[in-house]
Amino acid sequence: MPTSLQKRGRDRVLILVKALPHVGQRHGETVCCAGVTADGEWRRQYPIHFRRLKDQFKRWQWIEYDWIAPGPDDCRKESRRVQEDTIQVGDMMAPAKRASFLEPILTGSTAEAAAKGMSLTVIRPAGVRFRWKAKTLEQIAEERQAYEDAARQKSLLDPDLDLIALEPCPYAFHFDWTDADGKTHKATCDDWETAATFYRRQQTMSVSDALTSLEKTFGEDYPDKGMAFAMGTHSRRPDQWLLVGVLRLDQPKQLSLL
C-alpha cells in the first residue's frame, strides 16, 4: 500500500508500447507499457497485470490512472507504478493525427535520447531488415512452464479470475536497422503486437506463409509507408536499449512550394 510520503499523481497518456508479457518472481505475469502525455512527456507504466485488467486498452488509446513513485529499484524519470484499479480507458487517436502528434518528440538515435536524459524514445529507422529465428524446444518449454505457473496465481483485485496460460511464440523476431547517426543495430523485438500478428496470420495460412507475410509487412510495407521504433532502457542496465514497440507511423507530408 502507498504511504502518505510517497510521490503520487494522476496521468493521462496515449499508449504506444505493450511489450511481450514477462513472468517474474515478484509480480508474476506482467506487461511493461509506455506512452506519451498530451504535453509530449513519456510515461512508463509497470508492472501492469494486463490480462487481469477489467478494462484493457490498445495501442493509440488514451488512458488515465493514479500512480505512485516506483521506488529505488527503478530510478528512470518516466517510470510510474500504476494503481491498476484506477485505470480509465478513453478514446483512440485517429491515424491521421498520429504522425503530427509524435513528430516533435522523435529522436534520431538512442544516443541522442540518452544525451537528453531519456529512457524512452521513438525513432524512425532506416535500412530495415526483418528476421526470425526458431526458439529451441528447451526455450519454449521453459516459457510455457513460467506462463502456466503465473496463470495459477490469484490476483488480489480479482481472485475469482482464472487465466488461461499463454502459449509461447515459437519464434523470436529481430530487426536490423540504421539510425540517423549512421550506426547499425541488431535488436530483438519485444513488441507484443508483432508476436500477436504472427498468431493471427498462422490461423489462416501455413507457418511458412505467415512468416513470409510478416517479413513483407515489417520489412517492406511499414518502412515504405512510415515506420517507427519505440525504444526503452532496461531498469537494471540503463545503457541497454530494447525494442519495445513497432509502430506504423505515416511519414509527414511535404508542403507544396507551388
Question: Are 31 and 135 within one domain?
Answer: no
pLDDT of residue 256: 44
Q: Residue 216: enclosing H or E segment and its boundaries?
A: helix 207-216
Determine, yes or no, domain membership for 101: no
pLDDT of residue 100: 95
Question: Are 61 and 153 within one domain?
Answer: no
Select from 77, 20, 79, 84 the least CA-distant residue to 52: 84
Determine, yes or no, domain membership for 86: yes
Question: Are 130 and 234 within one domain?
Answer: yes
Determine, yes or no, domain membership for 22: yes
Determine, yes or no, domain membership for 167: yes
Question: Are 81 and 151 within one domain?
Answer: no
Question: Are 224 and 144 within one domain?
Answer: yes
Question: Are 240 and 139 within one domain?
Answer: yes
Per-residue pLDDT of the chain (258 residues; tens, 9 = 90+): 555 556 889 999 999 999 999 998 888 899 999 999 999 999 999 889 999 998 999 999 999 999 998 877 888 999 999 999 999 999 999 999 999 999 999 999 999 999 999 999 999 999 999 999 999 999 999 999 999 998 887 655 456 667 889 999 999 999 999 999 999 999 999 999 999 999 999 999 999 999 999 999 999 999 999 999 999 998 888 889 999 999 999 987 654 444
Determine, yes or no, domain membership for 109: no
Question: Are 139 and 237 within one domain?
Answer: yes
Question: Are 41 and 141 within one domain?
Answer: no
Q: Which residues of 201-225 are buried (b: 16+ CB within 10 A; e: fewer)?
A: bbeeeeeeebbebbeebbbeebbee
pLDDT of residue 224: 96
Strands 22-24 and 42-48: unpaired
Determine, yes or no, domain membership for 119: no
Question: Are 178 and 225 within one domain?
Answer: yes
Determine, yes or no, domain membership for 253: no
Q: What is the Cα–Cα distance from 78 to 206, expressed in whole angstroms? A: 41
Question: Are 149 and 78 within one domain?
Answer: no
Question: Are 143 and 235 within one domain?
Answer: yes
The residue segments making up the domain with residue 38 are 10-93
Determine, yes or no, domain membership for 154: yes
List phi, psi (to 5°) of 153. Answer: -70, 140
Report how many domains make up the chain: 2
pLDDT of residue 24: 85
Q: List the CATH number of the domain containing 33.
A: 2.40.50
Question: Are 76 and 154 within one domain?
Answer: no
